Amino acid sequence: MNQKIPFLFLLLGLSALLLGAFFGVLITLQYIYPEFLKETLAFNRLREFHVSTLIGWLILTATGGIYYYISKVLNVPLYSKKLMTIQFSILLICSIAIYFSFLFGKMGGREYLTYHPIISFPILIAWIVFAINYFKTLVGKIQNWPVYLWMWGTGIVFMIYHFSEAHLWLIPSIRENFIRDITVQWKSYGSFVGSWNMLIYGTAIFLMSKIKNENTVGRGKVAFFFYFLGLSNLMFGWAHHTYFIPTQPWIRIVAYAMSMSEWIIFLSIIISWKKSLNQQDKIKGNFAYKFLLATDFWVFVNLFIALLISIPYINLFTHGTHITVAHSMGTTIGINTTILLASAMFIAYKENAKIIESNTKIIKLGYWLFNVALVGFLTMLMLGGVARSKWIFLSDKATSFGEMQTSIQPLIVVFLFFGVVLFIGLLFISIPLIKVFLNKVRKEKSL
Amino acid sequence: MGLLFIFVEMEITKKLAHKNKMVMAIIVIVFLGYNFFIYTQEPPIEAQKMSELAILGEKIYQDNNCTACHQFYGLGGYLGPDLTNVISAEGKGSMYVKAFLNSGVKTMPQFNFSEEEKEALVAFLEAVDETGHYPIYEAAQNFGWVSIKYKK
């Protein structure tokens, strides 16, 4: 197969992680010093560099990992190397186009997809190309797919669907009805986050089965029960983001019921907690496993927060505050990022164990900086959310929005401190990985 | 004995795979029906369809990525306030909005909108304001459920 492309995906993904985190530091500075870059790159554009770049980290790294695992671990020859190269090239060109769109203020999209909507078309083509390559490669080649193959497949298909759905606002009959429009918009966002979660959680199950060398992981009834539960939540559980939009009540009731089904997942995590602790000694020293243990912790914390804020009466006070941001950042940084770092670590170790072993100390330091800083980072967001909620529901009307923002400035300063530490932690972890993947790209002849 | 065990395991795996495909088919069918209702539902409010001017205002709102800082129904960025009811809120309204658009504030750049663009933005905010209330101060709760107040 064309060996370079999966490594190029991973390299681009890791670069996006570092760049996105750096943009995050810059936008926090704008919170503290409103004049900072205001005339050259105001918050309305700089924030999008941060958001889009980090979405790029998640998608590119997950895709690179999937290509690598199919061809190098499962040893299934890829249907088309050309299609993989085309997919990578489209995404690379679109990434540059998105940056230009923000740089020159030629936007016009919706939240999370704020770049000019025309760029979405080639991105959609890239996903379709991925789908063709994935299914043509695997259908009929592996009997009785393990759950991670199902998860990757559904992640790709549902990403195509929900990414398209996020653009339904371009149709006049949707756009002219504000409530229907905003409902469909946030429905699609909830579900396409669910779609990339399918790609990433599938990667986590794949890694566990390979690290533990147990093929039964991801093949049993329980694995599929949780897969279908997750899939149902992807499809129907999105609407806890929109409890307070005046849609038809049944839409909100379905969302409430679906969200509460996640308590089953939560319970299963607690039950399997002890087991995973017993296994720690067996796999000591494996960085991929170490990152997956961090994932376990962050899943526990974030799922608990998510379940609480999915109860409408609690959501009433947390919605529209930094508590929601803590939930979404906790999920993308705590869960998604630790899984993808585990995946990159697994691949890097397989390709060049020497580089990883010679950087053990710096990776360990990065790992702890990352996790400890994330605790502080999320705590500050939660406290900021409480302050904002108090202002909305308990303050007298004389306190202005500006005064409330000024009152949470000390929290934002501490948040910035933890953000910088988090960035340094990520830098320590990523540099050895980037070294390995750069070496691979240089050594491979074919492009 | 070993062969029998492998045979039984293969049969179980086959049945499980078949069952999985069935479950998937049922979920997808329900999902398609559900989506159809979401895309075609009429909200239980009497707000009018947005006017052409309001739609133009929404386009300006998007082109300038106002959602990076502002929210509707609590959805958006947090550097600025929620704008759902900025038109009908006590002490605020269209003149208040225009004043901010003219001058900008410490955190908000001065956008230099033309008079027509400001009119369009105000028309859009008026259209949003007509759709409902946010934040919801008068919410009745029962077993964690919240009944929201609809705008008549």
CB contact residues (below 8 A), chain A span 365-394, against chain B: 388, 392-393
Min Cα distance B4 → chain A (Å) is 19
Do both B93 and B114 map to the same domain? yes
Confidence (pLDDT) at A2: 66
On whether any CB of chain B is under 8 Å from the CB of A72, the answer is no
- CA dist A310 to A248, A302, B38, Å? 18, 12, 20
Closest residue to A320, CB basis, from B34, B71, B141: B71
Query: Given pLDDT bands bounded at 50, 70 and 90, which one contains residue A445?
Result: low
Query: Given pLDDT bands bounded at 50, 70 and 90, which one contains residue A278?
Result: low
Do both B37 and B58 map to the same domain? no
Return the SS3 of B140: strand
Residue-wise pLDDT for A103-128, tens only, equals 999 999 898 999 999 999 999 999 99
Confidence (pLDDT) at A447: 44
- The boundaries of the domain holding residue B72 are 52-129
Please state the rounded mean pLDDT for residues B97-126: 91
Confidence (pLDDT) at A279: 60
Closest residue to A108, CB basis, from B41, B62, B127: B62
Confidence (pLDDT) at A373: 98
Residue-wise pLDDT for A315-368, tens only, equals 999 999 999 999 999 999 999 999 999 999 999 999 999 999 999 999 999 999
Q: Is the pLDDT of residue A155 over 70?
A: yes
Confidence (pLDDT) at A269: 66
Residue B146 domain-assigned (yes or no)? no
Considering chain A, what percentage of its residues have pLDDT values greater than 70? Answer: 95
Residue-wise pLDDT for A38-74, tens only, equals 888 999 999 999 999 999 999 999 999 999 999 999 9
Residue with tokens 């669910």: A194
Residue-wise pLDDT for A137-153, tens only, equals 999 888 889 999 999 99
Residue B148 domain-assigned (yes or no)? no
Residue B119 domain-assigned (yes or no)? yes
Which chain B residues are within 8 Å of A109, Cβ to Cβ? 62
B26 φ/ψ sector (left φ>0, alpha ψ -120 to 50, else beta) = alpha
Do both B68 and B116 map to the same domain? yes
CB contact residues (below 8 A), chain B span 59-88, against chain A: 59, 62-69, 71-82
Residue B115 domain-assigned (yes or no)? yes
**B125 burial type by CB count under 10 A (0-12 exposed, 13-18 middle, 19+ buried):** buried
Residue B149 domain-assigned (yes or no)? no
| Rounded Cα gap, residues B71 and A223, in angstroms | 39
- Test B27 with A228 for CB contact under 8 angstroms: yes
Residue-wise pLDDT for A165-222, tens only, equals 999 999 998 999 999 999 999 999 999 899 999 999 999 999 988 888 777 777 778 8
Among chain B residues, the shortest Cα distance to A36 is held by B107
Cβ count within 10 A of residue A197: 23
Do both B28 and B94 map to the same domain? no
Do both B78 and B37 map to the same domain? no
Residue B61 domain-assigned (yes or no)? yes
| Rounded Cα gap, residues A14 and A32, in angstroms | 28
Look at A54-68, A130-144, A402-416, B102-116 and tell me which has the smallest mean pLDDT: B102-116
Do both B63 and B120 map to the same domain? yes
Do both B1 and B30 map to the same domain? yes
Phi, psi of A331, deg, nearest 5: -70, -50
Average model confidence (pLDDT) across chain A: 91
Residue B139 domain-assigned (yes or no)? no
Do both B36 and B69 map to the same domain? no
CB contact residues (below 8 A), chain B span 98-127, against chain A: 105-107, 109, 127
Please state the rounded mean pLDDT for residues A270-297: 72
Residue B138 domain-assigned (yes or no)? no
Q: Is the pLDDT of residue B8 over 90?
A: no
On whether any CB of chain A is under 8 Å from the CB of B38, the answer is yes
In the numeric block, which tokens belong to residue A252?
């909100």
Confidence (pLDDT) at A284: 56
Do both B113 and B61 map to the same domain? yes
- Test B141 with A313 for CB contact under 8 angstroms: yes
Confidence (pLDDT) at A159: 97
Do both B4 and B34 map to the same domain? yes
B87/A144: higher pLDDT: B87
Phi, psi of A285, deg, nearest 5: 90, -10
Max avg pLDDT among A144-158, A240-254, B18-32: A144-158
In the numeric block, which tokens belong to residue A65?
């990992």
Confidence (pLDDT) at A425: 98
Q: Kindly report the three-state secondary structure assignment for every residue of chain A.
A: CCCHHHHHHHHHHHHHHHHHHHHHHHHHHHHHCCCCCCCCCCHHHHHHHHHHHHHHHHHHHHHHHHHHHHHHHCCCCCCCHHHHHHHHHHHHHHHHHHHHHHHCCCCCCECCECCCHHHHHHHHHHHHHHHHHHHHHHCCCCCCCCHHHHHHHHHHHHHHHHHHHCCHHHCHHHHCCHHHHHHHHHHHHHHHHHHHHHHHHHHHHHHHHHHCCCCCCCCCHHHHHHHHHHHHHHHHHHHHHHCCCCCCHHHHHHHHHHHHCHHHHHHHHHHHHHHHHHHCHHHCCCHHHHHHHHHHHHHHHHHHHHHHHCCHHHHHHHCCCHHHHHHHHHHHHHHHHHHHHHHHHHHHHHHCHHHHHHCHHHHHHHHHHHHHHHHHHHHHHHHHHHHHHHHHHCCCCCCCHHHHHHHCHHHHHHHHHHHHHHHHHHHHHHHHHHHHHHHHHHHCCCC
- Test B39 with A111 for CB contact under 8 angstroms: no
Max avg pLDDT among A158-172, A213-227, B33-47: A158-172
* Structure ipTM: 0.91
Confidence (pLDDT) at A274: 55
CATH number at residue B60: 1.10.760.10
Q: Which of A170, A244, A254, A399 to mutate to test the interface with B (most CBs of B within 10 A)?
A: A244
Tally the domains of chain B: 2
On whether any CB of chain B is under 8 Å from the CB of A315, the answer is yes
Name residue A62's amino acid. A
Which chain B residues are within 8 Å of A244, Cβ to Cβ? 73-74, 134-136, 146, 148
Q: Is the pLDDT of residue A282 over 60?
A: no
Provide the b/e sequence for B78-105 (b: ≥16 CB within 10 Å).
bbbbbbbbbbeeeeebbeebbeebeeee
Do both B6 and B69 map to the same domain? no
Do both B20 and B60 map to the same domain? no
- Test B132 with A325 for CB contact under 8 angstroms: no
Query: Given pLDDT bands bounded at 50, 70 and 90, which one contains residue B48?
Result: confident
